[in-house]
A and B are shown apart, each in its own frame.
Chain A
Amino acid sequence: GDSVTQMEGPVTLSEEAFLTINCTYTATGYPSLFWYVQYPGEGLQLLLKATKADDKGSNKGFEATYRKETTSFHLEKGSVQVSDSAVYFCALSGFNDYKLSFGAGTTVTVRA
């Protein structure tokens, strides 16, 4: 079945550092790919998405490119802030299936 493998955390960075969280997937057909962010005690917020190969999703300085050849959707941000501290989830929805498959989540802590 469809699955997502996400870089394990936790990740601790200093402000203005570069952030990368790796995400690879296994799926049949052409899935849609998502990054969600969860702040403490809250639900999930969509950070960005990509629905076809070579699409680049971007939001709030975060970017991720849908790479079909490497089945990856790595999240990057060039200069993190303390407010970026959260848990980040990579997710996939199958082409013929509305269910979302989530990665394990990566906890990111940014120190001032």
Chain B
Amino acid sequence: GAVVSQHPSWVICKSGTSVKIECRSLDFQATTMFWYRQFPKQSLMLMATSNEGSKATYEQGVEKDKFLINHASLTLSTLTVTSAHPEDSSFYICSARVPTERGYTFGSGTRLTVV
């Protein structure tokens, strides 16, 4: 089945630095990818939808300038957390729509800790 690879699986960074998370579709072309944030023991919160070759669509309340999303190719979307602060610490998960399966596949997630 369709696989999405997400890296890194965990990262620790200092306050004020930026962190980039990558999400690659390995065996299919992902025209639409999604980025989620998950707090402990909570559901997934959709942050933004990224479409290849165009600007991402952010959900209400998500800061575009803090969470930069780039979807420059059909197999790669990136989320950059800029000027990270401790409150940005969370579990970030990417997902891609798989048209041939009429479903979605998820990355394994990235645990971000900002110290």
Contact = CB atoms under 8 A, between A and B. Distances in A.
B111 interface: yes
- B interface, by DSSP: helix, strand, loop or mixed? strand
B42 A105 contact: yes
Contacts of A73: none
A43 B104 contact: no
Contacts, number: 48
Interface residues of B, number: 21
Query: Which among B42, B44, B93 has the greatest number of chain A C-beta atoms within 10 A?
Result: B44
A31 to B, nearest CB: 12
B105 interface: yes
A39 B91 CA distance: 13
A94 interface: no
Given A99-B49, A104-B43, A105-B43, A36 B111 contact: no
A24 B38 CA distance: 22
Interface of A: 32, 34, 36, 41-46, 49, 51, 89, 93, 98-100, 102-105, 107
Interface of B: 6, 32, 34, 41-44, 46, 49, 93, 95, 97, 102-109, 111
20 contacts: A32-B102, A32-B103, A34-B103, A34-B104, A36-B106, A41-B111, A42-B108, A42-B109, A43-B106, A43-B107, A43-B109, A44-B44, A44-B106, A46-B106, A99-B34, A99-B46, A100-B34, A100-B104, A102-B44, A103-B43
